[in-house]
Each structure stands twice: as C-alpha cells, then as structure tokens.
Amino acid sequence: MSDVGTASELCNDHRDIRHRRLLFRCWHRGTQEIDLIFGAFAESVAGGLSPAQLDRFEALLDCDDTDLFDWVTGHRAPPPAHDHDVMHMLRSSHSGEMKG
C-alpha cells in the first residue's frame, strides 16, 4: 500500500471517529431539548461540514445548554465568537423543525 493511500485512509478514519464522537456528544448533552436539537442537526448535516465548521460546531458543544437553547431558539443573540455559519445553520434547522 502506498503512503498516499495510508494517509487518505487515516484521514477518513479520523473524520469518521470525529463524526461519531460528535453524534454521541450531541445526543447526550444533558437536557432533552438540546439533545433533540443538536442530535437531529448532527445527524442531518454534520457529515457534510468542513473541518473548520466541525471545529466551530464542537466549540458550541462546550457551551452551557441553557445558553445554547437561548441562542438557537432566538431568545438571546449568541456572543460574537459563536455567531457564525454553524449557529445560523442550527437556528435555521431548528426553526424549520418547529414549522414542519
């Protein structure tokens, strides 16, 4: 096997492990509301996020559930550090779930 094949396989393995960890963290947050919002979002879009977007998404998971709920539902604006494309995707996804 070539070094290129090995490097590619390692990258794919790392991405798969990262994705599975992310799904677990999203579905096991601690509050049912956030589990449902983040778990459904992760299942539907996390596989298509870029590495930089995954970084931003993982950073959100380090935030308090109460803050996340308020930011995603629009009760409060997220701080500038968390007001980014992934937060906008979460908000859009959540508002679409509420309508549908």
Query: What pLDDT was estimated at residue 1?
Result: 47
User: Residue 57 in contact with residue 85, Cβ under 8 Å?
Assistant: no
pTM of the model as a whole: 0.80
> What's the pLDDT tens digit per position in 70-95?
999 999 999 999 999 999 999 998 88
Rg for the chain, CA atoms, rounded = 15
> What's the pLDDT tens digit per position in 21-76?
999 999 999 889 999 999 999 999 988 899 899 999 999 999 999 999 999 999 99
User: Residue 94 in contact with residue 37, Cβ under 8 Å?
Assistant: yes
DSSP, collapsed to helix, strand or coil, labels residue 62 as: coil
Question: Which fold is adopted by the domain 3-99?
Answer: DNA polymerase; domain 1 (1.10.150)
Where along the chain do its domains lie?
3-99
Query: What pLDDT was estimated at residue 13?
Result: 72
